[in-house]
Structure 1
Amino acid sequence: MADRDGHGEQGEHGGSGAAGGAGPVMLKACLNGNRAPAEHPALPVTPAQLAQEARAARAAGASAVHMHPRDEAGRESLSAADIGAAVRAVRRAAPGLPTGVSTGLWMTGGDVAARRAAVRGWAALPPDELPDFASVNLSEPGFTDLCEDLRRLGVGVEAGVWSVADAEALAATGIDCVRVLVEIIGGDPHTAVPRAHAVLGRLDELAVPGPRLLHGEHAPAWVLVDEAGRLGLATRIGLEDVLHGPAGEPVRGNADLVRLARARLAARGR
């Protein structure tokens, strides 16, 4: 049964997915990340571009979107004005599509207090401009307070877990998450699966609640889409994570990546 954030039945490792024939797994489109526009001609930056890519990604099979809104100069931003403009544009272009944002600490130059103040500023936004969920990296200081601020705003927390240490930190907090993002960032794609299983296994050992979403950034991206399909876990793909298809082929944008990922998941019955 899907909830408002688009996750489905529980698969292995407590994840959302199609285990047991429950239907397609959640596939989130990560539209832009912190990439520069020069990295890909279709990389969306403005609210209008984000909206266009979100609509195309949903048509290609995305269950939700994740984005890094920008200010007028094209810099990643957590300000209420920039968050609200991007979320509003996506909601108008793709009504009902669950929409999330990043809270990466680098956006405030590593300043924990400035990040918290920016997120608290979202309280001034009307409901249709608040994201459904926001990712919070457990490796960054201040995550506990930030999660509490998001909870007060009614924004779901996606816990970004990059390592076994992050899994242990999450277990120690008892934070209630809409999803646990098991994120393998770079490195050798041949070691990506065992690295992912080390994190997933530790989350299970510690009985951390919440559906799992497994994905990789850069070289491990396609390897972990396939592994998520094998496990029946939610996953994600998009220009934030990878700029080409599984064989290194060029792609026109996020929709192409979503279509390729959906095809690979469908081949595993997901």
Structure 2
Amino acid sequence: MTMIKACLNGSRAPGDHPALPLTPLELAEAAREAREAGASAVHTHPRDETGRESLSAAHIGAAVRAVRRACPGLPVGVSTGLWITGGDVDARRAAVLGWAGLSPQDRPDFASVNLAEPGFSDLWHHLRRLGVDVEAGVWSVDDADTLAGTGLECVRVLVEVVGGSADTAVSRAHAVLGRLDELAVPGPRLLHGEEEPAWILVDEAGHLGLATRIGLEDVLHSPEGGPVDGNADLVRLALARRV
């Protein structure tokens, strides 16, 4: 069975879904339930005391620590999206460098780094020096070209179809996947989408034998458009479609 990673909360606002996890304890419980449902890793966006996304060592450490206590051995990842620091590259770098003050067990196993964002190369090197693996966020053929040109190695390549019509999601995904293969970019691929294309790309990842992800970050409803109880429900639905 290929990886299904649970993306627990993303940039969702408090109240977007009744089961949206925000606090460290809520993330830990959501991770435990997702693991029991079949997820083999989790991706989180830790929050501060007001519910806003944060890259500070205090908030990253608290979230990772709580998930690790609830789910020993489960790989835990975080976002480094530049929007979290309001587009400030220097603030993002400073926040991530602050993770050096965390004990190794309170640092995430991996962090996603988006190739479309400025400062990605320096951030990549900082994360590796901290012992944090990098997932390369590739949103386009141009991003695939950029990744190939860096020569940087990653734990996996996230082929992320962000925005656009569901009707073109599969063709856009194949364009990126094909370019990565053409350029011989190393690393396993994980294919996913957000909102309307999310379930289409879960299915396409299954057809291609690729890892995927699902969770309240990406979609708030079932494949049929109905309500879901939370992250574990989404993981179960995704796994059922891979049988």
**Pairwise TM-score range, normalised by the shorter structure:** over 0.9
Stretches (4+) displaced over 4 A: none
Alpha-carbon distance between aligned partners in 2 of 1:149 and 1:215, rounded to the nearest angstrom: 26
1:222 aligns with 2:199: yes
1:200 aligns with 2:167: no
How far off its partner does 1:127 sit?
1.3
Q: Deviations over 1:168-213 (max 9, x none)?
A: 0100111110000000012211110000000000001111000000
Alpha-carbon distance between aligned partners in 2 of 1:265 and 1:57, rounded to the nearest angstrom: 16
Which one of the candidate residues 191, 195, 218 is aligned to 1:241?
A: 218
Other-structure match for 2:48: 71
Q: Which amino acid aligns with 2:95?
A: A
Which one of the candidate residues 83, 105, 117 is aligned to 1:128?
A: 105
Q: Which amino acid aligns with 1:148?
A: H
Other-structure match for 1:175: 152
SS in 2 for 1:32: coil
SS in 2 for 1:92: helix
Alpha-carbon distance between aligned partners in 2 of 1:129 and 1:162, rounded to the nearest angstrom: 29
1:144 aligns with 2:121: yes
Alpha-carbon distance between aligned partners in 1 of 2:70 and 2:187, rounded to the nearest angstrom: 29
Other-structure match for 2:137: 160
How far off its partner does 1:46 sit?
0.2
1:1-270 mapped onto 2 (5 Å cutoff): 24-266=1-243
Alpha-carbon distance between aligned partners in 2 of 1:203 and 1:29, rounded to the nearest angstrom: 24
Q: Deviations over 1:30-63 (max 9, x none)?
A: 0000000211010000000000000000000001
- Give the root-mean-square deviation of aligned CA atoms: 0.5
Alpha-carbon distance between aligned partners in 2 of 1:25 and 1:117, rounded to the nearest angstrom: 35
Q: Which amino acid aligns with 1:136?
A: V
Alpha-carbon distance between aligned partners in 1 of 2:232 and 2:164, rounded to the nearest angstrom: 25
Alpha-carbon distance between aligned partners in 2 of 1:181 and 1:42, rounded to the nearest angstrom: 25
Q: Which amino acid aligns with 2:123?
A: L
Output the TM-score relative to the length of structure 2.
0.99
Structure 2: runs of 5+ lacking an equivalent: none
